[in-house]
Structure 1
Amino acid sequence: MGEMTEHWNHALCFLQFPAFLRWPFLRHGFSTRTGGASKGCFSSMNFSFDKGDDPACVRENYRRMAEAIGVSPESFVVARQTHTTNIRMVTEADRGAGVMKERPYRDVDGLMTNVPGITLVTFHADCIPIYIADPVRHAVALLHAGWKGTVSGIAGRAVRMMGEAYESDPGDLLVGIGPGISSRCYEVGEDVAACVREAFEEADCRELLICPHTDRNGILRWQLDLKRANQKILLHSGVQQQAIHISELCTRENSHRIFSHRAVGARRGVNAAFLGLVQETTDPKYS
């Protein structure tokens, strides 16, 4: 299953994959709504500066999360997501982009790096966070995968790009598929179902598009399993099945803990996924 476990730093609650904690050079986490500085509909751990929240509260949330996972706030590099398959290769020059300075890029739904001292950040409020780490080459990638990015193959593209840029072998990769909307709560229409059928083999579609039914208007709808869809893409890309860890936590069913667009709409905060590299440490917490 690979479920993420709950951790606390003072009043801040965050989630981590036990499999990733085994590697001293990795820092990672997924935020919850608990322990931040934001108020009202952003309560309390919102990471977006673009939703109307007080910027001082957002900056404080980044500071608290940095402390919790053991990185510097200056290390953050934040994606600029528009449901593409674009993945930016992050360098030292990008340090602080999206938190400490403006981002010199747009239309970026994935980030990758092999630079120690960089922490990648993506935003989520139902869409799937995908953490990829190469323990051999010491490289990482972090992805935002909604249905568009999923059917367009952002996960497979990340595996290929890591191979080209860092000589990563897919068989060496460690993957975490984090909290996101479950198939139980994710209904899609024929337009999305048709895209899924184009992207996957028929046998896979029978597992990914489930429970066909008609809604109150007589329109045929399906339930789509985004987490399993990305797992299948990763397996086809050469990642080992035992190396893929999947959180079954559904954002919509847990909107009191984690922000969910389908549960509450656009007036809300956003969760964030974090994945970064540090120099090797002897800290027993990460041994």
Structure 2
Amino acid sequence: MTLKQAENLEFFQFDLFAGANLTHGLFTRKGGISPAPWHSLNLGGTTGDRRENVIENRRRIFDCVGRPVESIFDTWQVHGVHVIFPEAPRPLDGVHEKADIIITDRPELTLFMRFADCVPIMLYDPRKNVIGLVHAGWQGTVKLAARVAVEAMAQRYGCQPGDILAGIGPSIGPDDYEVGEDVAERFRHAFGEQAGRLIRCENGKMYLNLWEANSIVLRACGVHEIEVAGISTASDTTRWYSHRAENGATGRYGALIALGEVWGK
């Protein structure tokens, strides 16, 4: 990934998407107006921060990338695998639909989600000109949300998995994500023999690798080109929000992707 700065904001872009007909970015927590403990670019509307702050922070992100905020399509993320194929933006005063996977071929839409340890997955098919955005915490990962998204792109738009580029963004890393036996057992059941690559035991504790889990899911679908950010949100709370590292008293960082003019050149 490449770190960029503009208008006092920091954002990362996937190198895999360089030169693509895309606007995309994963924004750090810097450059907003929210006070502690959400300081400063909080995009989460259910964290306790003032709504006015979240709206202003959102405006700054969209202004930074040159996209109208009215182009937004975001959802109420519920740790599931429901897919939405929006054909129009969500009205700014409209109700959010519940979903963790958004896919579109409409360049007038900007797909947007919020994260604080869960895994953002961006998908792009340059042949069919289709994009997807996936929210995959441990629950979405064990439910194979990435596979659901790839299959939905194939069924709806005729995408071939081998044409899809996938970016796995900043989230809680394998050295920081301690889990209990209940979660570990879910992954053993879902991933079988490959679960040994995902669960590490050390000093009587178990740690889960969500990056590798989602990579395994994508490769099994036939997606070959995958970029893993390798950035743990829990290891750097000066730059990222982390629900785990900050004991829930934190905000959400924003991730967006849209078809259209290449941004950041």
Q: Secondary structure of the residue that 1:160 maps to in structure 2?
A: helix
1:264 and 2:218 aligned: no
What residue in structure 1 maps to residue 79 of structure 2? 83
Give the total of aligned pairs. Answer: 265
Q: Please tell me whether the aligned partners of residues 76 and 96 of structure 2 are also in contact (alpha carbons under 8 angstroms).
A: no
Query: Which structure 2 residue ranges, 5 or more long, are not aligned?
Result: none
What residue in structure 2 maps to residue 102 of structure 1? 94
Question: How far off is 1:172 after superposition?
Answer: 0.3
TM-score scaled to structure 1, two decimals?
A: 0.88
The counterpart of 1:232, out of the listed 191, 198, 216, is: 216
What residue in structure 2 maps to residue 217 of structure 1? none
Q: Secondary structure of the residue that 1:231 maps to in structure 2?
A: helix
What whole-Å deviation, never above 9, does each CA across 1:116-135 have from its counterpart, x for those lacking one?
11111111100100000110
TM-score scaled to structure 2, two decimals?
A: 0.96
Q: Secondary structure of the residue that 1:122 maps to in structure 2?
A: strand
Query: Which structure 1 residue ranges, 5 or more long, are not aligned?
Result: 215-220
Where do 4+ consecutive residues of structure 1 move more than 3 Å?
A: 283-286
Q: Secondary structure of the residue that 2:112 maps to in structure 1?
A: strand
| Aligned-partner Cα distance in 1 for 2:75–2:47 | 15
What whole-Å deviation, never above 9, does each CA across 1:37-70 have from its counterpart, x for those lacking one?
2112111100122222222221111111112223
Q: What CA RMSD, in Å, does the superposition of the two structures yield over aligned residues? A: 1.5
Q: Please tell me whether the aligned partners of residues 176 and 207 of structure 2 are also in contact (alpha carbons under 8 angstroms).
A: yes
Percentage of identical aligned residues: 35
| Aligned-partner Cα distance in 2 for 1:40–1:61 | 14
What residue in structure 1 maps to residue 230 of structure 2? 248
5 Å-filtered alignment, 1:52-201, equals 52-92=48-88, 95-97=89-91, 100-106=92-98, 108-201=99-192
| Aligned-partner Cα distance in 2 for 1:116–1:284 | 14
Q: Letter of the 2:3 partner, please give it.
A: E
Q: Please tell me whether the aligned partners of residues 73 and 96 of structure 1 are also in contact (alpha carbons under 8 angstroms).
A: no
| Aligned-partner Cα distance in 2 for 1:78–1:244 | 24
Q: Secondary structure of the residue that 2:234 maps to in structure 1?
A: coil
